[in-house]
């Protein structure tokens, strides 16, 4: 009997993540997965247990990747608010075909599975909450560093930032023209830029 070809788990999960991100959980068929992962159905089930199991692993990969990339960008910025403003503006210059030039996989998953697969939807909501908590942590740091007012609400600002990122990525997904996208990114960035606390000397705190 011919043995199934060996598979690379990371490569398989990357292919599954890309496919699920594009088509969603329900619209992705087993034949789609066979083609993308280059694996037979029996091998897919042996490796991941079920389509749901594969999807949840792919969703975790997406979350881990997104959070690591976001944190790396924030850590490389001169200050917390510089990082947030630059992150929002970066979407306007994102090249066509870039993975992030489409709606967030976590958001798409909640919409796709909210009424049909509660476990998947709840997992995705949990990741979105975790990302928002990380953003709230950034605003707390901005307060500690004197970049924004001490009475600013980190949780409220984090919710606003996450909503802005979701909205601008949806515009990218829709193919909004670059001029309109750039204006939207500037409006969003300037809203956060105005939060910076200005000292009596006229300089922005933390600069």
Per residue in 29-47, pLDDT (tens digit) is 999 999 999 999 999 999 9
Cα–Cα distance measured from residue 37 to residue 45, given in angstroms and rounded to the nearest whole number: 12
The sign of the torsion formed by the CA atoms of 13, 19, 20, 26 equals negative
For residue 177, pLDDT over 80 is answered with: yes
pLDDT class for 96, splitting at 50, 70, 90? confident
For residue 140, pLDDT over 90 is answered with: yes
Q: What is the pTM of this model?
A: 0.88
- Per DSSP, 196 falls in state B
For residue 206, pLDDT over 80 is answered with: no
pLDDT class for 125, splitting at 50, 70, 90? very high
pLDDT class for 2, splitting at 50, 70, 90? very low
Cα–Cα distance measured from residue 69 to residue 154, given in angstroms and rounded to the nearest whole number: 21
Tokens at residue 54, please?
């594969």
The answer to whether 92 and 178 are in contact (CB under 8 A) is yes
Cα–Cα distance measured from residue 95 to residue 110, given in angstroms and rounded to the nearest whole number: 26
pLDDT digits (tens, 9 = 90+) for 64-95: 999 999 999 999 999 999 999 999 999 998 88
For residue 25, pLDDT over 50 is answered with: yes
């Amino acid at each position: 009997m011919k043995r199934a070809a060996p598979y690379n788990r990371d490569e398989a999960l990357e292919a599954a993540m890309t496919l699920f991100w594009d088509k969603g959980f329900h619209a992705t068929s087993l034949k789609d997965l066979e083609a993308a992962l280059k694996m037979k159905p029996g091998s897919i089930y042996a490796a991941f247990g079920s389509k749901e199991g594969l999807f949840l692993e792919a969703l975790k990969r997406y979350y881990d990747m997104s959070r690591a990339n976001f944190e790396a960008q924030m850590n490389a910025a001169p200050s917390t608010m510089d990082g947030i403003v630059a992150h929002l503006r970066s979407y306007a210059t994102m090249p066509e075909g870039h993975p992030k030039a489409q709606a967030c996989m976590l958001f798409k998953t909640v919409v796709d599975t909210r009424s049909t697969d509660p476990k998947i939807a709840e997992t995705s909501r949990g990741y979105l909450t975790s990302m928002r908590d990380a953003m709230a942590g950034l605003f707390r740091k901005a307060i500690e560093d004197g970049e924004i007012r001490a009475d600013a609400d980190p949780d409220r600002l984090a919710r606003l930032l996450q909503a802005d990122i979701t909205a601008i990525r949806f515009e990218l997904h829709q193919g909004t023209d670059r001029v309109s996208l750039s204006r939207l990114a500037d409006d969003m960035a300037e809203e956060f830029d105005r939060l910076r606390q200005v000292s009596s000397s006229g300089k922005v705190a933390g600069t």
